[in-house]
């Protein structure tokens, strides 16, 4: 079965999860994307995306213990599933296929 196509933002969220170590949850994911891309990210969009990715089965989550510094609220820790990894690689390959032969194309900067 062909993998589900991933949107750009979905790819960014999943790549951010893979880049991070330890407890991976909303706060560090937002920061990681902002740090690497240099642009500010809508927090609510990240959560909606995470939820969608989980519904698609590309990402899984578990709740941490309740933490007093968060007013007794737990963290939702996420990790990328093998299915998600495959989808990421597929998306990358598709892009590379499209870029092949254009590496020295005029107009590219940096």
Partner 1 sequence: MSRAEPPRLARLLLERALPHDLRDDVVGDLDEVYQRRLRERGALWAGVWYARQSVAFAARFALQRFRERRALGLDDLGRDLLTAVRRMRARPGAVVVVVLTLALGLGANASMFQIVEALHLRTVSVADPERWTIVEIADMSRWQGRRTTGYPVLSHALWESIRDGRGPFDATLAWASTTFFLEDSGSPTVVRGLYVSGGFFDALGVAPVVGRTFGPADDRRGCGLQGVVLGYGFWQRAFGGDPAVVGRRVALDTHPVPIVGVAAEGFAGLEVGRAFDVAVPICAEEVLGDGEQWIANGTVFWLTVMGRVPPSQPLRSVNAQLDAWSPALLEATLPDQYTPDGAEAYLGLSLRAIPGATGVSSLRIRYGSSFVTLLGVTALVLLIVCTNLANLFLARGAAREREFAVRRALGASRGRLLRELSIESAVLAAAGAAVGLALASTLSRSLLGPLGPDLSLDLSLGGLTVAFVVAAAGVSSLTFGLLPAWLASRGGCEHGLGGLREGRGAAAAGRGADVRRWLVVSQVALSFVLVFAALLFTTTLRNLLAVDSGYEAEGVAVARVDFRNLDLPDASRTAFKRDLLERVRDVAGVASADEVRHVPMGGTGSSANVRAGDGTSISVRLNAVTNAYVETAGLPLLAGRGFAPDDAPEAPLAIVTPAFAMRVGLGSTPVGRRFVIETGELGEGSSMEIEIIGLVPDAKYFNLREAPVPTAFVPKALLPDSRPYTDFMVRTPLPPQVLHEALRAAVADGSPVVWTDVRPFDDTIHAGLVRERLLSTVSGFLGALAALVAAIGLYGVMSHQVAQRKSEIGVRIALGARRRDILLMVLGQAGALVAVGVALGGVLALVASAPVRSLLFGLEANMAPMLVIAAGVLAATGALASYVPARRAARLEPQTALTLE
Interface residues toward partner 1, by CB under 8 A: 25-27, 42-45, 47-48, 51, 63, 67, 69-71, 73-76
Q: Of 36 and 51, which has the nearer Cβ to partner 1? A: 51
Q: Of 23 and 86, which has the nearer Cβ to partner 1? A: 23
Place of tokens 């642009």: 39
Instruction: State the nearest-atom distance from the C-beta of 65 to partner 1, in Å.
Output: 12
Instruction: State the nearest-atom distance from the C-beta of 8 to partner 1, in Å.
Output: 18
Q: How far apart are CA 18 and CA 64, in angstroms?
A: 19
Q: Of 55 and 97, which has the nearer Cβ to partner 1? A: 55
**Residues 81/57, Cβ–Cβ less than 8 Å:** yes
Q: From residue 52, give the alpha-carbon distance in Å to each of 39, 60, 97, 101.
A: 22, 11, 27, 35
């Amino acid at each position: 079965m062909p993998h589900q196509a991933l949107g750009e933002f979905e790819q960014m969220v999943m790549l951010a999860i893979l880049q991070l170590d330890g407890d991976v949850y909303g706060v560090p994911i937002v920061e990681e994307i902002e740090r690497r891309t240099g642009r500010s990210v809508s927090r609510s969009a990240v959560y909606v995306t995470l939820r969608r990715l989980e519904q698609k089965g590309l990402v899984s989550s578990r709740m941490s213990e309740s933490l007093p510094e968060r007013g007794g609220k737990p963290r939702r820790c996420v990790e990328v599933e093998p299915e998600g990894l495959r989808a990421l690689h597929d998306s990358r390959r598709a892009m590379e296929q499209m870029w092949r032969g254009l590496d020295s194309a005029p107009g590219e900067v940096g």
